[in-house]
Amino acid sequence: MAEAATQLASAAADLDLGILRGSPVMVVDNADHLPPSVANLLVSLPLVSVGIAPPGTAPSFDVIVADAEAVTAVVDGVMSNPTAAVTCCQVLRNGPYQATSVGLLLESTAYGTLQSGPEFSRWLSQHEYQVRPSETEPPVLVDAADDTVHLILNRPRVCNAWSAAMRDALVEALRSLSSPGDSRAIYLTGNGSVFCGGGDLTEFGSIEDPVMGHLIRSSANAGPWLDRLSKRLTVTVHGPSVGAGVELAAFAGRIKATGDASFQLPEVSMGLIPGAGGTVSVPRRIGRQQTAWLCLTGTTIDVTTALDWGLIDVVLD
């Protein structure tokens, strides 16, 4: 801790520390003993700061872990994709605390930048996916009544993978529900055995120009509509929720989950960051440190942990 304090207090800290200096991660033992005036400098450095301390005692750090053994998973995640890891933490330091539109714009810009980086290119080169056959069923089903509206993600054959067509269909449905005078309760679920298994991997990298990808993402995102309607929105999650499945659900005012539900944010391992609004929605529920831990380690958590953290509100019998 004393060594870290000396390094951070130096006027040349920004010249000596950070990913551009070959140090994408800093681990500090007894992080809760670091003077706040020094710890606050961490948020300006391009590195991932990991503090070993009791939960809630070192708010300036990107991640807090309980002991030295727990550090390994975080450091391994950072070193596997340091650019994505550092960018993820930089976005998490700022995005959740801005207006939703600003936070999502920051996320999309960072996501688009990483799409043109070497880490995502490496991941993409290692994964080849066949083009999916055209689908005859609508990607989102709408069942509207006088008092309620049920929206159902409807690609069960592919675990309700989040595709451009599904995004557009959900936005269209949410847009109509935001009309003045419409106060109906909205229930979002998924058809089949999984609520949403994450982004459709067959579409990853399909838009070669990351700038155009950003413009599409920032103008067609479902996040702003889910956020706008959050007080009326209940999401029921079942099975593995991955990436977008977690991020979109987290906007809801109320989230229910079945006992078999699980939650994972694997994007950093792909050289990216969450891109469906998760850097805004998830930390608003569980805080940026726990969100960063999920992103950097890629760990899957169960419903008990999700309930304890506040990621979900109810576990269904």
Same domain? 129 vs 74: no
Give the pLDDT band of residue 1 (cuts 50, 70, 90). Answer: low
Same domain? 39 vs 115: no
Same domain? 248 vs 134: yes
Ordered strands of the 25-29 beta sheet: 25-29, 48-52, 63-65
Selected residue with higher pLDDT from 131 and 99:
99
Same domain? 300 vs 216: yes
What CATH number corresponds to the domain at position 141? 3.90.226.10
Span 78-130, pLDDT tens digits: 999 999 999 999 999 999 999 999 999 999 999 999 999 999 999 998 887 76
Residue 261: C-alpha distances to residues 158, 167, 194, 197, 206 (Å): 17, 22, 8, 11, 30
9 contact partners, CB below 8 Å, separation of at least 6: 38, 41
86 within a domain of the structure (yes/no): no
Single out the residue in 35, 53, 80 at which a domain terminates. 80
3-state SS assignment for residue 184: coil
Q: Which of 236, 249, 316, 242 is nearest to 284 (CA)?
A: 249
| Mean pLDDT along residues 28-35 | 91
Span 217-232, pLDDT tens digits: 888 899 999 999 999 9
193 vs 191: CA distance, rounded Å: 7
The residue type found at 90 is Q
40 within a domain of the structure (yes/no): yes
The residue type found at 101 is S
Vertex 49: Cα angle to 294 and 103 (nearest 5) = 60
Same domain? 209 vs 155: yes
88 within a domain of the structure (yes/no): no
Same domain? 106 vs 42: no
State residue 215's pLDDT score. 86
How many residues does the structure list for the chain? 317
Same domain? 16 vs 70: yes
Give the pLDDT band of residue 214 (cuts 50, 70, 90). Answer: confident
Same domain? 101 vs 21: no
State residue 10's pLDDT score. 64
87 within a domain of the structure (yes/no): no
What is the domain range of residue 250?
A: 94-315
170 contact partners, CB below 8 Å, separation of at least 6: 139, 140, 151, 153, 222, 225
Give the total number of structural domains in the chain.
2
